[in-house]
Structure 1
Amino acid sequence: MNPNLKCSCTAHAAMQPVALAEALLGVQCGDCQGMVMAMDDWRAWKVAHPNRVPHEVDDEVIEVFDLAAVRHCPACDRLMQRLRVSAGPDFRIDRCVACQNLWFDQGEWRALVSRGLADRLDELLSDGWQRRLQTEEVREARVAALRRRYGDDCIDELDRIRGWLDTQPHRDELLALLRAD
């Protein structure tokens, strides 16, 4: 990782090397505490040390992560892609598609480490992971709308019935019987 990068925050501060794990380096802005890591460095680290777990860096964990607009890559100045970490109003990781750098706002690396996701970055950044999160979010919104319309008791009962049906060996026959006149 190039330590001569300048952060795109208002201070445009020079970035300093920071250890994200033993033998895994990134660079960090001294002003906003954001960090950049090259995916190539992470992949090489992962291959060389498959059982080693990334450690938390000494940054402050914050309750509300930066949900600001897309940022520019500190290396090539292109707009970075924002990718979800989980469904809901959590946080997003910025990735430069061109140079494969990742940007972590203050507290995001620590959150990834504490959730056991820092060693699964390829999976987390994949199209499949992103589609699954979008599907979860749509389902949660649908269930919330049904709860408002029909009430918690009704939806809780449906969840109980669904759980019971999932244990039945002839589930499809039972569903067909329910649907019959």
Structure 2
Amino acid sequence: MQCPKDKKVDLVDRQLVKQLAAHHCSECDGVWLGGADYADWQQQQPPAENLSTLIDQALEMDCARSPFDSRAALCPECNAYLARAKVSVKTPFYVERCPNCKGIWCDRGEWETLQTLGLHTVIDHMFSNDWQTRTREREQLAQERRATIDKLGPALAAQIFELAEILEKHPNGDFGVAYLMRRCDK
């Protein structure tokens, strides 16, 4: 079986964690998890606690990006294109999975990052509509914040963000927003 990112290198067997066999690339340092192997291992793991919180943490984390993360890849087992799921918005990185055999590819350091965050047992959730919708919402919010800072400057933008949080929590916050809109509409 050859590395999906460096197609000239054969993957070698490796024990990733207890009772989870993997295949390792000595060149790019990525790992391939067979779909059936991962599913069997995953069933033996305790359920993830508060998946929603884990998702929020993952979307806001900073991590080192692999130089191979942007390369398209084919499944080393069945030759299908690997689907990508964005794990983080702040420092984007992607986990890849085969839509046919459900095998998983992690570039250098990604498995360890997932392990640290407690997400290594719920990789399938990263490919769900809920995860991807949250990712797009976070990206949109981040773009909106950057645009606000660019247009208003950092000091005024910080005040706007603070006021937005206050109004969002206030039972009559919509009245405050309407007031501001009327004042700024002139």
**Structure 2-normalised TM-score?**
0.78
Matched ranges for 1:9-158 at <5 A: 9-10=5-6, 12-50=8-46, 63-65=64-66, 66-158=68-160
Identity %, equivalent residues: 24
Partner AA of 2:117 in structure 1: R
Aligned to 1:59: none
Q: CA deviation at 1:159?
A: 1.4
Q: Is the 8 A contact 1:81 1:94 kept in 2?
A: yes
Q: Please, which moves more after superposition, 20-29 or 6-15? A: 6-15
Instruction: Report how far residue 154 of structure 1 moved.
Output: 1.7
Q: Matched residues in 1 for 2:43 and 2:100: separation?
A: 22
Choose between structure 1 and 2: higher helix proportion.
2
Report SS of the residue matched to 1:149: helix
Contact 2:87 2:93 in 1 (8 A): yes
AA at the equivalent of 2:169? T
CA distance in 2 between partners of 1:147 and 1:99 (Å):
45
Inter-partner Cα distance in structure 2 for 1:18 and 1:49? 20
Alpha-carbon contact 2:23-2:32 (below 8 Å) kept: yes
Residues 11/31 of structure 1: CA separation in 2 closer, same or farther (3 Å cut): farther
RMSD (Å) for aligned C-alpha atoms: 2.4
2:64 corresponds to which letter in structure 1?
Answer: E
Equivalent residues of 2:69, 2:107 under 8 A apart: no
The verdict on how the C-alpha distance between 1:79 and 1:88 changes in structure 2, with shifts beyond 3 A counting, is same
Tell me the TM-score normalised to structure 1 length: 0.79
Secondary structure in structure 1 of the residue aligned to 2:89: coil
User: 9-18 or 133-142: which moved more?
Assistant: 9-18
Residue 179 of structure 1, CA deviation: 4.4
Secondary structure class of the residue paired with 2:28: coil
Q: CA deviation at 1:11?
A: 5.9
Q: Secondary structure of 1:159's match? A: helix
Q: How far apart are the structure 1 equivalents of 2:13 and 2:47?
A: 23
Unaligned runs of 5+ residues in structure 2 are 49-62
> Unmatched 5+ residue regions in structure 1?
53-61
Name the SS of the counterpart of 1:36 in structure 2.
Answer: strand
Structure 1 stretches of 4+ moved >6 Å? none
Aligned residues: 168
